[in-house]
Amino acid sequence: MNNFTSNSGYFAFLRIKAGLCRVRMRRIISCLMWLEGMGVFAILLLIIDKTNIQNIISAAIITIVFVLITLYMLGTPLRARRISDYLRQTGFVDDEKNTPFLISITKDKKNPKIREYIFDTVGIPFARWDKEREKVETALNSHIIDLKLQKDKRTVLVRAVDAIGALPDSVEWKDNFISKENFVLKAGIGYAGELEINLDKVSHILIGGATGSGKTILLKCLLFQCVKKGAVLYLADFKQVDFVKPMWSRNIISYDIDSFESHLSKIIETMNERKELFNASKSTNINEYNKNRNAKMKRIIVACDEVAELLDTTGADKDIKTQIKRITGMLSTIARQGRAFGIHLIIATQRPDADILPGQIKNNINCRICGRADEVLSRIILDSTIATQIPKSAQGRFMIDDIGQFQAYYFKERG
């Protein structure tokens, strides 16, 4: 007995369960099903001997079977058979030649362009789903933007959008792209549409990728929007070449480690002052605090184009190592507590491993973006190898958690 056959009863239960869910969501269908079932039962009663209990029981069983079949059909996704055939054609099957069992297809509530498919893996390891996602994409005729193994370790969630074509090779930034929503930043174009990052929901942003992947251009695009929205921007530019254009001159720029440490100390002081103000006003975040005030509290953005230049202790003497430790501690405090008080980190780096970016900072950054990368770098930034799918020739192409691949806006600095 193969794996699929042994699970056929379980799969039938899933279909009926899904059918019940649809009935619950649509009371009209529920009523129609009940009337239909009762009608069949009544007709059967009329054509049998009412005194024959065995016939009545048979009629009841027939009615129950009819209802179960109806629920099974309601719980079967319309494209289930076709998707199964396509998966088999691509070779995405288990050792017994069984395809994953499609349980449901629904639309993402926040973005109807995104479909969410839930499959029973039929024992196919999740590593194969990740490695052979192109086969699944072909079967679904979609671009996969996210794959997740569910808590039961038996089902996989596939989030995908229709395969309407390739991403653009370049999209030039225009100032009218700036969102009118409070601190929503535009990053680029993905398969599901325009990619937005909401700093009310995202604490901090990490941008990683190989040299030439477009990290600095994306970073500058996001920072430009922050400035336009009224944020106070603190920049670390130790190379003194990345933020030399006049457009950045009104911001607070650190050209050495001493000035950056001093600026961080002031930010920590500001955060502690905001804690007291929030406690006094019973506010839980910066939006609540600003709600009924004419003088709005400004958000603070701490940015660094190459965090390795700031936190790398290789070859440093004892005093510098001690100083970097203090800076790391302050950045960790901001990473843990900053969002509620309107203080955010937006940092970029080529290789944010534990030697450069400690876990106490990285683990509190919940928006991670990765450009062109090898498997090691992709795992360091995204905890998966999906960034290796970015074409090597692509400029400004990135991967982001839960969204997938997108083309970042090409931002040109002004004089």
| Distance (Å, whole) CA 278 – CA 255 | 33
Say whether both 288 and 216 belong to one domain.
yes
| 3: its two tokens | 């794996």
Q: Is the dihedral of CA 313, 318, 320, 322 positive or negative?
A: positive
DSSP string, 31-42: HHHHHHHHHHHH
Q: Examine residue 269 and state whether it is found in any structural domain, yes or no.
A: yes
| pLDDT tens profile 357-376 | 888 898 999 999 999 988 88
Confidence of residue 218 (pLDDT cuts 50, 70, 90): very high
What's the CATH number where 233 sits?
Answer: 3.40.50.300
Q: Quote the percentage of the chain above a pLDDT of 70.
A: 81
pLDDT at position 25: 47
| pLDDT tens profile 260-312 | 999 999 999 999 999 999 999 999 999 999 987 888 899 999 999 888 888 88
Say whether both 363 and 380 belong to one domain.
yes
Half-sphere exposure of 391 (CA within 13 A, CB side): 10
Helices (H) and strands (E) in the chain, counts: 14, 15
Higher pLDDT, 333 or 383: 333
Number of domains in the chain: 3
Outline where DSSP puts E strands in 41-200: 101-107, 115-120, 142-149, 155-162, 171-172, 184-190, 193-198
What's the CATH number where 90 sits?
Answer: 3.30.980
pLDDT at position 392: 84
- What's the whole-model pTM score? 0.76
Say whether both 263 and 147 belong to one domain.
no
Phi, psi of 294 (to 5 degrees): -75, -45
Say whether both 61 and 197 belong to one domain.
no
Higher pLDDT, 49 or 225: 225
**Helix, strand, coil fractions of the chain, as percent rounded to 5:** 45, 20, 35
| 397: its two tokens | 């192409």
CA dihedral 19, 22, 27, 28 (to 10 degrees): -80
Most confident of 108-112, 338-342, 377-381, 388-392: 338-342
Say whether both 65 and 199 belong to one domain.
no
| pLDDT tens profile 57-82 | 666 677 667 666 666 566 677 788 89
Q: Which of 19, 40, 74 marks a domain boundary?
A: 74
Confidence of residue 119 (pLDDT cuts 50, 70, 90): very high
Half-sphere exposure of 385 (CA within 13 A, CB side): 11
| Distance (Å, whole) CA 340 – CA 15 | 44
Say whether both 178 and 266 belong to one domain.
yes
Average pLDDT, the chain: 84
Q: What 8-state DSSP symbol labels residue 169?
A: S
Q: Examine residue 415 and state whether it is found in any structural domain, yes or no.
A: no
Q: Examine residue 176 and state whether it is found in any structural domain, yes or no.
A: yes
pLDDT at position 43: 55
What is the chain's length?
Answer: 415
Say whether both 135 and 190 belong to one domain.
no
| Farthest CA pair distance, the chain | 99
Q: Which domain holds residue 89?
A: 80-162
pLDDT at position 406: 93
Q: Is 51 exposed, middle or buried (0-12, 13-18, 19+ CB in 10 A)?
A: exposed
